[in-house]
A and B are shown apart, each in its own frame.
Chain A
Amino acid sequence: MTTSTSEIARPEFLEIELDQQPAPERRRIKRKTINTIIWFVVLAALTAIVLYPLIWLFVATFKPSSEFGQNPGLIPDNPTIDNYFKVLEGIAGVPLWRFFANSTFIAVMAVIGTLFSSALAAYAFARVQFKGVGILFAAMIGTLLLPFHVVIIPQYIMFQKLDMVDTYWPLILPKFLATEAFFVFLIVQFIRNIPRDMDEAARIDGAGHWRTFFSIILPLIKPALITSAIFTFIWTWNDFLGPLLYVNSPEQYPLPVALRLYNDQTSTSDYGATVAVSFLALLPILIFFIVFQRFLVDGVATQGLKG
């Protein structure tokens, strides 16, 4: 995903750079136009190669199921739109929009939870001098080293005992408890680079920690928050294992779990429906990424500069 989008972005970027050069003579301009065209063609070709799998996926959504395996090429022999109609009906009585709604709900809640809790935790680590801050910070970074698979079983037992299985709590609750150490770390680093003078000025004016956090720090860490929000959204949207373990009722499934229902190797696999629904599932995240891409680049860029 990331690579392909940056490939698309590149020609624009280069063109702008070329345009910005001063062009005193007509001939220079002409040669520059030819250069631009060559660049454009080469880069467009490269983009097409990089995007080919995506294009294949899109075109394949118009293939009837029986054509998979017999016609591996790009163009379908008997194009049909039935896959989409079939997919929209949903699966096992659950309409497709329901899976989208479930995914959106989980992802939005996860974004809210992560931003809220990570920002607070990061503020504490970066600005509050409490006892054991060093050890706790190290411990938090340490959790980054723990692969998810190590904690699956204890975590499952915990939620099972809390009677939270088959609800969204196991997926959302941890996000509100700042368990995503990566984002806490990201924001801590960001806050550390904000001059302390600002906090001190606030303190002199009588602001406590809460006031300092909401009025001073929060507006300043916006780029880091946006970065965290984008990654949280994408990761949660694509998360498969978590929902697989904790959600039992088919009408509660988010998209990645529902996607697999179309492709069961032990009975008949509906490849046409699988690619159609895969493509539809890709759209929201593609749009989300294109819209927020600018902020993402901003966030990363400012972080780099602050050091």
Chain B
Amino acid sequence: MFNIRTRRAALAAAAVTASAALVLTGCSGGSEPAATYDPDEEVTLNLAFWGNDVRADLYDQAIAAFSEEYPNITVNSSFLGFPEFWEKRQTEAAGGGLPDVMQFDYSYLRQYSENGLLLDLEPYLGNIIDTEPLSENILGIGVVNGETTGIPTSTNAWGMFTNPKLLEGAGVEEFPGGDWDDYNEWMAEVTEAGGGDLWGGTDWTGRIQNFEIQQRAMGSDLFTDEGEPNFTEDDLAAFWEQGTDIRDDGTVITQQRLEEIYPVSGFDAALTTSELTWDNFGAGYLGNLGEEYTELGLIAPPITEEGAQDLYLKPSMLHSIAATTDHPEAAATLVNFLVNSPEAGAIFGTNRGLPASETMLEGAQLDPLGEQIRAYEESISDRLGDAPPVPIVGYGTLEEKFRQLGQELGFGTITVDEAVSQFFTEMDVVLNQ
């Protein structure tokens, strides 16, 4: 993980150099006559996505369905794992060879948009791309500096997974809801009942999203629209202090134990009974837990401030079109199919997350887990606020730094004050790149 991050940072630097090259290629492209849309024109599009073989099969089916409807458009698809996908994109972006249509990640949206690598979809919204089934706050997610450069396929919300089977074994009731202190007490109860082999949860102060929802409960996002940090060192110190007790008294699983089972998490390994994470992680957990575990609990995260809108919907992925595409209309047609069509809904189900578009959701056959996510996202509708601004460039690096500092706190190798100052140093570097 760490390697990938550093490499990514290096490539990000390369991408800056690359934007200069792009300006050059952009010039040469500008002299060509504007393409007029011919619905029968023979067109070939490249589509790139990340995922495993299951998702690749689903995309193949979707492309087959698309080709039936638009026989003149040939779609060549290409897929990779997530880190490799972005490694390849960074070089392609620099070389002007981005695929026409891409599955896109929220954390890269700002960087690629600001470098002018993604097509502004505004001209196609409402005609080629149907906006009727997409709600205003969903369309708003893919807007960077006033340009719509991505359409969310699906949404996630922050949530808490629990393991009912382990809880039953320990003889503890499901977490009934409450504030963070209640959650800590509940975890302590599980850990005690577990007798050393089972913990109530993982140290939640290691995740930046928990800090984010606490800050949002107080009415401020982590970063402003301009990408400036919106919290002080004291805020962060206060947040990390909350984890001191649960780490020291052994309520949460020890960092040493977590290292032993890496790359899977404590929750994956059936060592903890709860985990705060994005609500689309359920399938992965069930897969890693094995066949003995058939269901998970999905409940709202602890409350910071009663009645606050601390949660928000995040796109689990978006679809974007490269600015360099030769066939923007055909590409937009494909995006519309992948984002809106009931056929795509029927094929993908919840593989890419809970469908964001109403028409796609209608077509989707939800599996029990998908149904659970849908019910969950409905149940927290009171706590859902506006999405925070599109993540700053380098947010991924900060998220990772936050996680690493959380680990070090878990090992007890640094104090909270040291962690805070390290995080602010890192943030300084990222923001002033």
Contact = CB atoms under 8 A, between A and B. Distances in A.
Interface of A: 64-70, 72, 91-93, 149, 152-153, 156-157, 160, 165, 241, 244-245, 248-250, 257, 260-270
A260 B94 contact: no
Given A72-B260, A248-B76, A261-B80, A93 B52 contact: no
B97 A165 contact: yes
Contacts of B92: 156, 245
B160 interface: no
Contact of B80 (A165, A257, A267): A257
B291 interface: yes
B196 to A, nearest CB: 16
B56 to A, nearest CB: 4
Nearest to B52: A264
A244 B85 CA distance: 9
Contacts of A66: 287-291
Given A93-B60, A160-B97, A244 B80 contact: yes
A260 B351 CA distance: 19
Nearest to A267: B52
A268 B288 CA distance: 8
Contacts of B56: 91-93, 250, 261
Contact of A156 (B79, B95, B261, B351): B95
Contacts of B284: 267-269
Contacts of A92: 53, 56-57, 60, 79
B283 interface: yes
B269 interface: yes
B80 A69 contact: no
Interface in B16-33: 17-18, 21
Contact of B18 (A69, A153, A270): A153
Interface of B is mostly: helix
B137 interface: no
21 contacts: A66-B290, A68-B288, A69-B263, A69-B264, A70-B269, A91-B56, A92-B60, A152-B14, A153-B91, A157-B21, A157-B94, A157-B95, A160-B97, A244-B84, A244-B87, A260-B84, A261-B81, A262-B52, A267-B52, A267-B54, A268-B284
Contact of A266 (B82, B287, B290): B82
Contacts of A72: 260-261
Interface string B43-87: 000101011111111001000000000000000111111101001
A69 B261 contact: yes
Nearest to A240: B84
Contacts of B99: 248
A202 to B, nearest CB: 47
B78 A264 contact: no
Contacts of A153: 14, 17-18, 21, 91, 94-95
Nearest to A89: B53
Contact of A260 (B81, B260, B268, B291): B81
Interface in B253-268: 260-261, 263-264, 268
A153 B91 CA distance: 6
Greatest chain A CB density within 10 A among B14, B51, B88, B269 is at B88
A64 B290 contact: yes
Contact of B79 (A70, A157, A245, A250): A250
A160 B18 CA distance: 14
Given A244-B84, A265-B82, A267-B284, 5 more contacts: A245-B91, A245-B92, A260-B84, A261-B52, A263-B81
Contacts, number: 120
Contacts of A149: 10, 14
B264 A261 contact: no
A264 B51 contact: yes
Nearest to B269: A69
Contacts of B77: 250
A297 B53 CA distance: 42
Nearest to A69: B264
B335 interface: no
Given A70-B270, A70-B290, A250-B56, A260 B96 contact: no
A15 to B, nearest CB: 40
Query: Which of B81, B269, B289: most chain A CB closer than 10 A?
Result: B81
Residue among B51, B78, B88, B91 with the highest chain A CB neighbour number at 10 A: B91
Contacts of A266: 50-51, 82
Contact of B283 (A160, A262, A268): A268
Contact of A261 (B79, B88, B269): B79
Contact of A249 (B21, B78, B288, B289): B78
A233 to B, nearest CB: 23
Contacts of B53: 91-92, 261-262
B287 A65 contact: yes
A264 B14 CA distance: 25
Nearest to B99: A248
A269 B56 CA distance: 14
A160 B322 CA distance: 15
A270 B52 contact: yes
B55 to A, nearest CB: 6
B71 to A, nearest CB: 21
B401 to A, nearest CB: 18
Contacts of A65: 287-288, 290
A269 B291 CA distance: 15
Contacts of B351: 267
Nearest 7 Cβ contacts at the A-B interface: A66-B290, A69-B264, A92-B56, A156-B95, A268-B287, A91-B53, A264-B52
B24 to A, nearest CB: 10
Contacts of A250: 56, 77-79
B76 A264 contact: no
Contact of B82 (A67, A241, A264, A268): A264
Q: Determine which residue in B21, B80, B82 has the highest number of CB atoms from chain A within 10 A of its CB, and name it.
A: B80
Nearest to A247: B78
Max chain A C-beta neighbours (<10 A), residue from B21, B53, B88, B263: B53
B46 A267 contact: no
B91 A156 contact: yes
Nearest to A65: B287
A58 to B, nearest CB: 20
Interface string B262-296: 01100011100000000000011001111100000
Contacts of A263: 81
B82 A244 contact: no
